Amino acid sequence: MKNKKIILLIILFSVWIASTELQAQNIAGTNATTDSLEQMLETGGLSDDERVDIYGQLSGLYVQTDGEKAVQYALTAIPLARKTGNVDNVAYLYRKLGDARYYQSRYDESLENYETVLQMLDGKTTSKKGKATLAATFVDMGNIHNIRGNSHTALEYYFRVLKLSETDNTTDINLINTYANMGQIYLTMNNFEQSESYFRKMEKVCIDAGDSLSLAYALDGLCEVYLHENQLEEALECAETANRIVSIHSEASPREKMTGLLSLATVWFEGYRDGDRALQYAVDALDYAQQCRQPLYIAHALCQMSSIYLSQKQYLAAEEAALRAFAADSSSSYVNTALHNNIVKANIMLGNKNRADDYFDRYKKWVTDYSQKNFQASLTEMEVKSETEKKETQIAVLEEEKRLMIWLSITSIAVLLLALAAFFFLWRWTVQKKRFAESQRELAEQQIKQLEQERQIVAAQAALDGETQERSRLARDLHDGLGSMLTGVKFNLESVKNDAMTGESEDNSCFDKAMEILNESMKELRRVAHHLMPDSLSRYGLKVALCDFCRNLPPVEFAWFGGDNRFDAKKEVMLYRVIHELVNNAMKHSGASEIVVHIMRDVGFVATIVRDNGVGFDLASNVGGMGLQNIRDRVASYGGRIDISSQKGQGTEINVELKLQPDE
């Protein structure tokens, strides 16, 4: 993970170097606003040289805020510059055009523009402006190759910048860029001593030049060195100082503020293992990245968030952040690797084998294509060098470049192969866990299944107990109520029979009494039947049945919200039974003077609230009661959810939510 953070810092440095140099040129070239420059163009009466100069300034000013305007101004100025015959100006404008496309992540087009600059200036220019343009172009080309993971090619351009810095009195910004790039290179090689020395040199130049924003990036580099040497206090101090500089600096852009926040997120995440705090900084960094409107920045911030979510076992959030990063910009090979890694791991932990396999296959294909492309490119470049660069003054530099490029190529291929092997064994390990019973994870899954089966058995037993209780109550109702009434009817009818046989009495009182009891028996029979299955429930639905039920109970207030279209009959019966039981419990045990029953029916679900102002109860001591447990099991059997909230003396509120099918 730390190696990925090194690469992330390198890419952010690469983007910063180009933008810092652009800002320096814009500030040095003019202090005028875009509005005033555009008004000058509209007034007319300007020479071609003056118009070229203004177009170049406008392109530089718009490069980070309106990429298309920056492109159009550069394209408009190039033909005018060609008319003047000033090669340095033409090359300068092609670099402006490349910069505008660079910030739009249009790297192929940007490289074409930079190659045009090299054709015009490399080995030909002698002017200060031409050499400055050439040096900055080398930096930008190296940055693009660095972002794409072509370390050996990027290193070649950085050495060319270093050579120009040593042979010509280049500007402070070029020297700062050179030291920053060398510090980054040694950082990737885990040579932290050398990396620190170059960042210290960069720090000194920034202080001497009074460039506080560049100093903040030097501190970010030192922060990463200290972090990998496990000097956490020093790392945190560097990150906080860098972030403080960009926070109070009036000219700091959202991009610079984003980078400072990502450094703090890295320290807290990688150093102190405080994922929550790191996530706060990463979320703030994403906000600034979105203000920049550059896809690569957004992808970096989301990549950081995805890694933090993964460490917190928030696997769905980790995958969602990674997919958003892919959608923003997948051009960076290192970010691409990190995102594939996060998605594969998240889906493995979520048990989504097919999705994990799919992204693992995508990663394997990408690694294969990447390795073949870079290996062939490396061989071709070394062959070209051996044939074309023959001057004795360049031999030492070329040999050093070859050694470093070969070392980086071997290291890159080794890392990629190790990553591929790791993913392969991880995949094999996952498959084996599912195939063999002795795997700990499979054993755990079996235990979970066994516990689930036991829970289902307990739930079924509880349901049977509930059914037994319901049958017992029904038996008592029939025996104590209807049974005793029918016995009275029997005795009265026998008395009528005896009187009729003996002819002793013509009194019809016994018969009338029997009929009266028989009528009461029929009412009791309807009451029992209504309790089992209200006629209004089967004929008119849940809303009418509950309305009838609650209307006969004075303390109960009933309200129905939403549509009253019916749904599955079994679910209606279940909800009716649950509400019936909850209301009866409230009336019997809570001492409530008010009971509220609310039903909300919407597309896809139905929700119920039963609330009373009774004595309440302690959830910890009553959650396992048979009555509540039977209700829980009934709701769970239909995939529903029940929440119980109660405190002694403060009443009780019970919420039941049941999902419905689309056609219900």
Task: Give the span between the Cα atoms of 51 and 250, in whole angstroms.
Answer: 30
Q: Which of residues 515 and 257 earns the better pLDDT score?
A: 257
Token pair 């693992």 in the structure block, residue? 360
Who contacts 17 (Cβ-Cβ below 8 Å, separation ≥6)?
A: 139, 143, 177, 180, 181
Q: For 564, phi and psi rounded to 5 degrees?
A: -110, 20
Inter-CA distances, 36 with 30, 42, 69, 302, 592, Å: 11, 10, 16, 38, 77
Q: What is the pLDDT at residue 484?
A: 57
- How many whole angstroms separate alpha carbon 337 and alpha carbon 367? 9
Q: Sorting pLDDT into bands at 50, 70 and 90, what band is 23?
A: very low
pLDDT digits (tens, 9 = 90+) for 497-527: 666 666 555 556 767 776 777 777 666 666 6
CA-wise closest residue to 149 among 377, 477, 448, 476: 377
Mean pLDDT, rounded, for 288-315: 85
Residue with tokens 């309200």: 559
Determine whether 257 is exposed, middle or buried from the number of CB atoms within 10 Å of its CB (0-12, 13-18, 19+). buried
Give 400 or 465, the one with higher predicted confidence.
400
Kindly report the pTM of this predicted structure: 0.44
Question: Could you give the angle at the alpha carbon of 145 between the alpha carbons of 331 and 305, nearest 5°?
Answer: 40
Give the span between the Cα atoms of 141 and 280, in whole angstroms.
34
| pLDDT for res 100 | 87
9: tokens are 């810092």
Q: What would the mean pLDDT of 529-546 be, rounded to a whole number?
A: 76
Cα angle, residue 98 at apex, residues 96 and 103 outer, rounded to 5°: 95
Cα-trace Rg, the chain = 40
State the average pLDDT over residues 480-491. Answer: 61
Cα–Cα dist 136/98, whole Å:
11
**Least confidently predicted of 51-55, 122-126, 330-334:** 330-334
Decide: helix, strand or coil at residue 567: coil
Q: Could you give the maximum distance between any two Cα atoms of the chain, in Å?
A: 148
At residue 506, the pLDDT reads 55
Query: What would the two tokens of residue 205 be?
Result: 């130049």
pLDDT mean over 398-411: 73
> What average pLDDT does range 53-60 have in this prediction?
86
The answer to whether the Cα torsion of 449, 454, 458, 460 is positive or negative is positive
Contacts of 412 (CB under 8 A, 6+ apart): 149, 151, 152, 374
Angle at 622 between CA 618 and CA 627, to 5 degrees: 135
Q: Which of 369, 370, 340 is nearest to 357 (CA)?
A: 340
- Residue 495, pLDDT > 80, answer no
Mean pLDDT of the chain: 77
Q: What percent of the chain has pLDDT over 70?
A: 73
| CATH H-level superfamily of 537-659 | Histidine kinase-like ATPase, C-terminal domain (3.30.565.10)
- Enter the DSSP assignment of 267: I
The strand pairing partners of 612, in sequence order, are 595, 652
Phi, psi of 12 (to 5 degrees): -65, -40
DSSP 636: H
Share of residues in the chain with pLDDT > 90 (%): 8
**Contact (Cβ atoms closer than 8 angstroms) between residue 46 and residue 79:** no
Amino acid at 63: V
Strand runs labelled E in 505-620 = 556-562, 595-602, 605-612
Question: Where is average pLDDT lowest: 22-36, 171-185, 312-326, 474-488?
Answer: 22-36
Could you tell me the CA-to-CA distances from 90 to 77, 410, 630 in Å, in that order? 8, 39, 83
Residues 631 and 576 sit within 8 Å (Cβ to Cβ): no
Residue 332 scores a pLDDT above 70: no
Q: Which two tokens stand for residue 316?
A: 């769905």
Q: List the one residue out of 216, 335, 336 whose CA is nearest residue 264.
A: 216
Domains of the chain, by residue range, sit at 459-532, 537-659
Residue 437 pLDDT grade (very low, low, confident, very high; cuts 50, 70, 90)? low
Residues in the chain: 664
Pick 475 or 447 by higher pLDDT: 447
Sheet bearing 605-612, strands edge to edge: 556-562, 595-602, 605-612, 652-659, 641-646
| φ and ψ of 312, to 5 deg | -90, 5
Amino acid identity, position 485 = M
Q: How far is CA 583 from CA 550, 611, 627, 652, in A?
A: 9, 9, 12, 11
- In the three-class reduction of DSSP (H, G, I as helix; E, B as strand; rest coil), residue 444 is classed as helix
pLDDT tens sequence across 138-187: 888 887 887 776 767 877 887 787 777 766 655 667 678 777 877 877 78
Higher pLDDT, 536 or 383: 536
DSSP 600: E
Residue 597 reports pLDDT greater than 90: yes
pLDDT of residue 540: 84
| H/E run at residue 518 | helix 509-532
- Residue 1 tokens read as 């993970």
pLDDT value of position 374: 52
pLDDT in tens, 632-647: 888 888 889 999 998 8
C-alpha triplet 150, 156, 158: angle, nearest 5°: 100
